Amino acid sequence: MADDATGAASPSADEAPMYELMYIINPVLNEDQTKDIVQRVTAYLSDNGAQVEHVEERGSQRLAYPIEKKRNGYYVTVNFRLPVAANGGLVKIERALTINDDLMRHMVLRYDAKMERHYQARKRGDEMPKIAPPVQQA
């Protein structure tokens, strides 16, 4: 492996990359329909090889700008791992989210090492370090 020669750690087969999916559900749907969409998206992720770690429903929030003439949306964030071998699954997941008319927007982020450390610390409940103010010289 070329990564070992450079000293960089290559991810093992059981340590799949971490992803975060945020999507906005159309606010005109009732609560049961919204819960059903959250369950269907989570099930679709699992069916395509993802290991869902955390689903956070952030609820209805005001949008920064109108989307499809709507000012509010129901936000959901999903943290999951997807093995590198199943990255074709990510394309299928993105396509399914784009086709779904009940979802107004979605975005998938792949965590780098710093983002993953932050996620793990937040998950453990550790307090995040405060950034010290710059030192002014006299």
Domain regions of the chain by residue span:
15-124
pTM above 0.95, yes or no: no
SS3 content of the chain, % helix, strand, coil (to 5): 35, 35, 30
What are the pLDDT digits (tens) for 77-101? 999 998 877 667 788 989 999 999 9
What are the pLDDT digits (tens) for 88-135? 778 898 999 999 999 999 999 998 888 888 888 888 877 666 666 667
Tokens of 44: 């679709």
For residues 132 and 23, give the distance between their C-alpha atoms in angstroms, rounded to a whole number: 34
Distances (CA, A) of 2 to 16, 102, 112: 19, 45, 20
20 pLDDT tier (thresholds 50, 70, 90): very high
Q: 15-124 in CATH: which number?
A: 3.30.70.60
